[in-house]
Amino acid sequence: MNKFIENIQIGVLKIVVDTLGKLSSGISLAQKEGFTSGKMLDYIYKNEPSGRLFIGKIIDKIYLDHPGWQDVRNRKNNLVLNLKEAVNLTLKEKGEARILDVASGPARYIIETLEAFKGQNVTAEIRDLDIRWLMEAKETAKSRGIDIEYKSANALEESDFQFNKNPDIIVASGFYDWFDDENVIRKSMSLIYNALPVNGYFVFSIQAGHSALSLTNKIFKDFNNHQLKMVTWDMNIINSILKDLGFTVILNRSDDKGHYPVILAKKI
């Protein structure tokens, strides 16, 4: 019976999204660019309802106010806080800080962090498989007077973890939301651990819960126009992987429901 009701909900919501939803700027953007695209996330972070006609703006406000998007905005804010904490600790210890994001997308939080430390010895390199996001990040950084390095690379390929100068801080935000294999998570975190110096910092997010995961996966598509396949992770598993590798958790910031923990860990 529950499955039957869920299928009815999905059918109704798909009709709404494909009809009235087109009046909402946010839903239209999700359909055009993908639910997980950089442009979509930028729109969510901005959080200013927009749409055609009065009803379009109302629908857009409902869309932006969804608990899932509130969690995403909280995740971004917590990520910036943890990243700034890692930079401050590194500057105190070394007098300089080099950041690497292994799967950056448009890297808004990296750019925001660099802005906060302008004039200090803080640099960043962003990497992603999709050159579109790197180019978008480059233009955004340039418009704000920020220098940022970028490189197309695979965050799960050992041969892509080569550096002229190793990072002090490595970031992975939203990256683990798409893998349902513990071995993949362990491989990624192992590559990151090996790339960091002793006392280096790892800042990452985990989706530990979602207000409507099944509905969201079935209604929306990603930036490659494929059906969403987001997953959630038990934090006990994540903490076990960190401990096995040799990380110690320093900070865990999250929303009030614990859906999106953002972890600051240190290599020991």
Q: Tokens standing for 98?
A: 């080099």
Question: Based on the domain organization, do 80 and 153 belong to the same domain?
Answer: yes
* CA-based nearest residue to 112, from 39, 42, 48: 42
Say whether 205 sits in a helix, a strand or coil. Answer: strand
Q: Residue 85 has what pLDDT?
A: 97
Give the range of the structural domain holding residue 56, as residue numbers without chain letter.
2-65
Phi-psi region of 145 (alpha: psi -120 to 50; beta: other; left: phi over 0): left
* CA-based nearest residue to 126, from 137, 113, 114: 137
Tokens 């969804």 locate to: 66
Model confidence pLDDT, tens digit, residues 39-87: 777 888 888 989 888 888 988 898 888 888 888 899 999 999 999 999 9
Mean pLDDT for 191-208 is 96
Cα–Cα distance measured from residue 232 to residue 97, given in angstroms and rounded to the nearest whole number: 31
Domain boundary among 65, 89, 120: 65
Q: Tokens standing for 22?
A: 């087109």
Task: Provide the number of structural domains found in the chain.
Answer: 2
Question: Based on the domain organization, do 76 and 208 belong to the same domain?
Answer: yes
Question: Based on the domain organization, do 87 and 205 belong to the same domain?
Answer: yes
Q: Residue 132 has what pLDDT?
A: 85
Model confidence pLDDT, tens digit, residues 90-142: 999 999 999 999 998 888 899 999 999 999 999 999 999 888 889 989 999 99
Model confidence pLDDT, tens digit, residues 219-237: 666 566 666 677 889 999 9
Mean pLDDT for 241-249 is 97
* CA-based nearest residue to 73, from 113, 111, 34, 45: 45
Question: Based on the domain organization, do 48 and 96 belong to the same domain?
Answer: no
Tokens 């801080």 locate to: 169
Question: Based on the domain organization, do 96 and 175 belong to the same domain?
Answer: yes
> pLDDT band for position 1 (50/70/90)?
very low
pTM across the whole model? 0.85
Q: Tokens standing for 250?
A: 């320093």
Q: Tokens standing for 57?
A: 């703006």
- Residue 255: give its domain's CATH number: 3.40.50.150
Question: Based on the domain organization, do 10 and 140 belong to the same domain?
Answer: no
- What's the chain's average pLDDT? 86
Q: Give the CA count within 13 Å in the CB-facing half-sphere of 163.
A: 23
Q: Residue 186 has what pLDDT?
A: 97
CA distances from 15 to 5, 18, 21, 30, 226 (A): 16, 5, 9, 15, 18
Mean pLDDT for 151-170 is 93
Phi-psi region of 123 (alpha: psi -120 to 50; beta: other; left: phi over 0): beta
Question: Based on the domain organization, do 135 and 60 belong to the same domain?
Answer: no
pLDDT beyond 70 at 160: yes
Tokens 């996966």 locate to: 217
pLDDT beyond 80 at 247: yes
Output the CA angle 100-114-233, nearest 5 degrees: 50
Question: Based on the domain organization, do 17 and 101 belong to the same domain?
Answer: no
